[in-house]
Chain A
Amino acid sequence: EIVMTQSPATLSVSPGERATLSCRASQSVSSNLAWYQQKPGQAPRLLIFGASTRATGIAARFSGSGSGTEFTLTITSLQSEDFAVYYCQQYNNWPPYTFGQGTKLEIK
């Protein structure tokens, strides 16, 4: 099973600033990595797939990068609606599909 590790667990950033979230895989997942955003009481929403491709309707301030075992989600010019929990997920080697434990992005 591929273990996904996200860091930091919590990230405090001020509105208008940039947030950088990290995700590491225990073995290579190529570019088969997705990022999801989840707000309290809601279902996750797909942000990024293929490590760097934005899903339909996702704002350009969200960008993904990386391949192999190291990945980054960057959110520039943070808006109030961006404060949420973010999960990475690998789909290169399944079963099982595996998620990171999440990074909570909170307002500083």
Chain B
Amino acid sequence: EVQLVQSGAEVKKPGTTVKVSCKVSGSSFTDYYIHWVKQAPGKGLEWMGLLSPLDGEAIYAEKFQGRVTIAADTPTDTVYMELRSLRSEDTAVYFCAKGVIDWYFDLWGRGTVVTVSS
């Protein structure tokens, strides 16, 4: 059974960087697209980007381009999402999700709460 296990909650100051991990267990992350989705408090779901299994490349939403990096550590089957220059609007729950090909998301991690506060 494939599971996505995310890292724990983070509290960061404005202007700093957060790195959230998503470990794929029960399979190799290279078998799937792995996506990152943001959910601000009381708000909806917002797609941030994905890591493609085909070539290991990341594709980002324009809104986050330049401030986010999605990458993987192959030996540990862990995918990371790094968000830089944090501001209060980045306070949110960040989910990783497994994609079925490049279509819908059939499995989600439990989410990582990131709080940005001075």
How far in angstroms is the closest Cβ of chain B from A46?
5
User: B103: nearest residue on chain A (CB-CB)?
Assistant: A91
**Main secondary structure on A side of the interface with B:** loop
Query: A91 to B63, alpha carbons, bound, how many Å?
Result: 18
How far in angstroms is the closest Cβ of chain B from A18?
24
How far in angstroms is the closest Cβ of chain B from A26?
16
Query: A43 to B44, alpha carbons, bound, how many Å?
Result: 12
Q: State whether A49 touches B110 (Cβ < 8 A).
A: no
Interface string of A34-75 (1 = CB under 8 A from B): 101000001111100100000100000000000000000000
Interface: A76 (CB within 8 A): no
Interface size class of A (residues with CB under 8 A): 20 to 34
Q: How many residues of B contact A (CB 8 A)?
A: 24
Q: State whether A89 touches B108 (Cβ < 8 A).
A: no
Q: Which residues of A contact B106 (CB under 8 A)?
A: 46, 49, 55
Q: Number of contacts between A and B (CB, 8 Å)?
A: 58
Interface positions of B (Cβ within 8 A of A): 35, 44-47, 49, 59-63, 95, 97, 100, 102-111
Interface positions of A (Cβ within 8 A of B): 32, 34, 36, 42-46, 49, 55, 87, 89, 91, 94-102
Q: Which residues of A contact B63 (CB under 8 A)?
A: 96
27 chain-A/chain-B pairs, Cβ below 8 angstroms: A32-B103, A34-B103, A34-B105, A36-B45, A36-B105, A42-B110, A43-B95, A43-B108, A44-B95, A44-B97, A44-B105, A45-B108, A46-B105, A46-B106, A49-B103, A49-B106, A55-B106, A89-B45, A89-B105, A91-B103, A94-B47, A94-B102, A95-B49, A95-B60, A96-B61, A96-B63, A102-B45
